[in-house]
Structure 1
Amino acid sequence: MKRVLKWGGMIIVLLLIIFIGAGNYFYNVAINRSHEAVDLYGGSETASALVDEEEQLRKLEEVLKWTEEQTFETVEVKSHDGLTLSAVLLKSEEPSGKAVILAHGYKGSSEQMPGITKFYHDLGYDVLKPDARGHGKSEGSYIGYGWDDRKDYKRWVNLLINEYEAEEIYLHGFSMGAATVLMTSGEELPSEVKGIIADSGYTTVEEELAHQLKYLYHLPAFPLMEITSAVTKVRAGYTFSEASAVEQVKKNTRPLFIIHGDQDELVPTEMADVLYGAATSEKELWIVPGAGHTDAYTVAEEEYQKRLKAFLGE
């Protein structure tokens, strides 16, 4: 009996060591800033079958040339936990009191989203593009997946109001950035924030990481998600289950526009339906035929702009 207990105890200790090691490994892969980005499942999708590649290349060259000609101002705020967060701001040519905050995706930066930046600038908006914590020029040793970032975005909103006299602010995010603005939507925000646009956002961090774990590593969510979540709580201060865009949109009172491609395999399209169903404010859902992850603006640029203008009340 003693021998059985001894071996049983050794096996339990060994399993604990293995699981804790696995939790730290997946934390370093998915959460830790220093780790290189992994090739996410569904991340290589393109919409080439529905668009003229030559025409898209021409448009890209034009918008990149336009971007180089603009004067972006670097601005900073301090986060609630003492990090210096960086962003670039493109002021409108004529003061309008209108502003938009654009939120990039996982392992992205403020240098992205040139097309939508030009779109808003042409409408007379000040365009603020933050580097999320743990990304770009912003400080931070871990990726918040939108959860800690929701508090950071309140700082960016206040910056626009207090220092740039913004009277009408929209939050527009893509992928992780979409989850960020959805999570921000459930916070107590100034009345100047008028609406939320979420393109290809996920429901919860737990569900999105479990989705990636299944397809990238062919592993079940339990118990690795729970263990990695516990490691994340110790090292980053949050758990995967609490980082929920679904729960946040239930508290949102502002107009919400959810956009998602029907071919999205990185963030499954059904997540958009769940988010839309959970939202209690004025809301709109647009599932874009033929679009993969964050491909809607490429696949249906004209329709995207038309719907966005309607949502903005332009």
Structure 2
Amino acid sequence: MAPLANRSVKKWLIVSLLQFCVVVPVATVVMGAVAAESALHPAPNPIPAVCPCVAHVRCRAVETKAADGTLLKAWYYEPETRQGGALLMLHGIGGNRTDVIALGTVYEKVGYAVLTPDLRGHGETSGLVTYGVSDEQDVRAWAQWLLSQPGNERLYGFGVSLGGSVLLQSLKTETRFLAVIAESAYSSFPAIALERTHRSLPAHLKWLNGLFVHSGIRWARLRYDMDLHASSAVESVRRTSTPVLLVHGLEDDLTSPDNSRVLAVANPSVTQLWLVPGAGHANLWATARTEFESRTLNWLSSHMTKKQGDRISPVAP
């Protein structure tokens, strides 16, 4: 009886192992696809019918089209007293243009015109969320629109979280920014996806992290022909000559400050890194208001012209 029992146990172990080897990877791939769908289709966040405005600033709804025909929507703020600067401000994932209008007043008060668009797949802008893959052309379209408006002589950019990474990715083709600011930005989509899922998975499932993330990326490629591996702010920063101020909270538990450290190291000649103690994700203005305003305003005002020979540099071999 003992040999028969042993054979039964061995058979059960083999069957269980085979089931584990098949079921777990398949389930992980399915979960990756579901996560990808969620990432590409964030919950809608309604836009007010009228743009909020402050004294001595005019506001109006504007729109333009990206190179692929996607209709882009935004609010445009023009202070009564202008100084020639125009600031493109981009919000984070799952948000919309309203997320940056309060911060925008900091720059409007000193004479900057401020444009606050809805990113792709957010607010009133159509399309899928592409994490910078297609958003680059949107940034170029808005840059062109801003520079076509009366009184706008100098172009700057400010992006928060996803908006920061989108802005940085655009630098490989959009060379008209005199300087940009990226708050709580991630270095690349694969990197931040691996970071966030590793943090959320239980300890006994963390070994599945890579399969989970890359199956989601593969799903986006198969289902939407979207290459999320191309979503890389760090590669664009490595190639740009545009000055970049990177600001990040040291207590950021959504996008670790290591992301901004990686971005800074990629091109030390054009980047400046400010890590803020006690600040979390995308709340640096609330945490260190006076210093935040001083640093960011000084950063913009210290870059009034392009340096001689500024251009996009080739990728290092």
TM range (shorter): 0.7 to 0.9
Alignment match of 1:256 (pick from 220, 244, 248): 244
Runs in 1 of length 4+ with deviation above 6 angstroms? Answer: 7-16
Return the letter of the residue paired with 2:41.
Answer: N
For 1:191-249, what per-residue CA distance to the aligned partner results, in whole angstroms no more than 9, with x for missing partners?
A: xx200100110011111111221222334322122211111113333333221111010
The one of 257, 262, 268 aligned to 1:274: 262
How far did 1:288 drift?
0.7
Among 13, 22, 33, the residue aligned to 1:24: 33
Distance 2:101 2:143 in 1: 21
Residue matched to 2:307: none
Q: Kindly indicate whether residue 295 of structure 2 is the aligned counterpart of residue 286 of structure 1.
A: no
Q: Displacement, 1:302? A: 0.6
**Correspondent of 1:199 among 146, 161, 183:** 183
Do the aligned residues in 2 keep the contact of 1:185 with 1:196 (CA within 8 Å)?
Answer: no
Q: Aligned residue for 1:213?
A: 197
> Residue 263 of structure 1 aligns to a residue in which SS?
coil
Worse-superposed segment, 217-226 or 288-297: 217-226
Q: Give the deviation of 1:81 after TM superposition.
A: 2.1
Aligned residue for 1:143? 129
Aligned residues: 278
Find the aligned partners of 1:262 and 1:256 in 2 and give their Cα distance: 19
1:312 corresponds to 2:300: yes
Is 1:185 paired with 2:167?
no
Quote how far apart the aligned CAs of 1:65 are.
Answer: 8.2
1:152 maps onto 2:138 in alignment: yes
RMSD: 2.7
1-structure distance, mates of 2:55, 2:44: 27
SS, match of residue 221 in structure 1: helix
Q: 1:124 aligns with which of 78, 95, 111?
A: 111
Unaligned runs of 5+ in 2: 1-14, 46-50, 303-317
Q: Which moved more, 1:16-25 or 1:107-116?
A: 16-25
Measure, in 2, the Cα distance between the counterparts of 1:252 and 1:70: 33
Deviations 1:138-177 (A, max 9, x none): 011x212233212210100000112445211111011111
Code of the residue aligned with 1:167 in structure 2: it is: E
Cα deviations by residue, 1:8-30 (Å, 9 ceiling, x for unpaired):
99999877754553232111221
Paired position in structure 1 for 2:62: 75
Query: Which deviates more from structure 2 when the two are superposed, residues 256-265 or residues 74-83?
Result: 74-83
Q: TM-score, normalised by structure 1?
A: 0.80
Q: Give yes or no for contact 2:131–2:228 (8 Å, CA) kept in 1.
A: no
Contact 2:130–2:228 (CA under 8 A) maintained in structure 1: no
1:17-53 per-position Cα deviation (integer Å, ceiling 9, x unaligned): 54553232111221224x579xxxxxxxxxxxxxxxx
Counterpart of 2:10 in structure 1 is: none
Deviations 1:41-100 (A, max 9, x none): xxxxxxxxxxxxxxxxxxxxxxx9864995421111112222111011001213432100
Secondary structure, in 3 states, of the residue corresponding to 1:287? strand
Distance 1:153 1:261 in 2: 25
Residue matched to 1:167? 153
CA contact (8 A) 1:252 1:280 kept: no
Matched to 1:178, the amino acid is G
Structure 1: unaligned runs, 5 residues or longer: 1-6, 38-63
SS of 2:116's partner is strand
Could you say if the C-alpha distance between residues 201 and 162 of structure 1 is closer, same or farther in structure 2, counting changes exceeding 3 Å?
Answer: same
TM-score of the superposition, structure 2-length normalised? 0.79
Q: Tell me which amino acid in the other structure corresponds to 1:151.
A: Q
C-alpha spacing 1:216/1:97, structure 2 compared with 1 (3 Å): same
RCO (CA 8 Å, sep 6+): is it higher in 1 or 2?
Answer: 1
* 1:90 paired to 2:77: yes
Q: Take 1:241 and 1:197, find their aligned partners in 2: how far apart are those partners?
A: 23
